[in-house]
Amino acid sequence: MIKDDNLKAMAAEMFGMSEEDMAKVTPEMEEELVNALGEIGNYRLVAEVVSSKYCFAGLQPGQKFVVDNAVQLNPEESTAPMCLGAIQPLAEKGMTLLDRIYHKGNITAHLSG
């Protein structure tokens, strides 16, 4: 059960968690979630296009996708056009980053490539 009132409000508003789901959260999970929420703003993914051939979206080398908080594409700072083919692998890296933050793991070892 989530004890922290601020976390409980965030879980309901941001994640749409029900009271029933919140009751399943263990103290260890709550501690990890609090840690992740405190740390996530310290990281940003920046993916630069290094090559592109026959791209329907028009991706060009040097263009970038900027992702804040592991899951939020920052359109103001991104210079690459939206491309689902490029977003899919970037989304996977974002989820890996989120997992490493949540579990206090080695972040850079799992994000290259």
Taking the alpha carbons at both ends of the chain, their separation in whole angstroms is: 38
> Under a CB-based contact definition with an 8 Å cutoff, are residues 66 and 80 in contact?
no
**Using CA of residue 65, residue 69, residue 75, residue 77, what is the dihedral sign?**
negative
Position 51 scores a pLDDT of 93
What is the per-residue pLDDT across 47-78, written as a single tens digit (0 to 9) for each?
999 999 999 999 999 999 999 988 899 999 99
Position 105 scores a pLDDT of 65
Low-confidence ranges of the chain (pLDDT < 50): 110
Position 28 scores a pLDDT of 87
Within 10 angstroms of residue 23's Cβ, the number of other Cβ atoms is 10
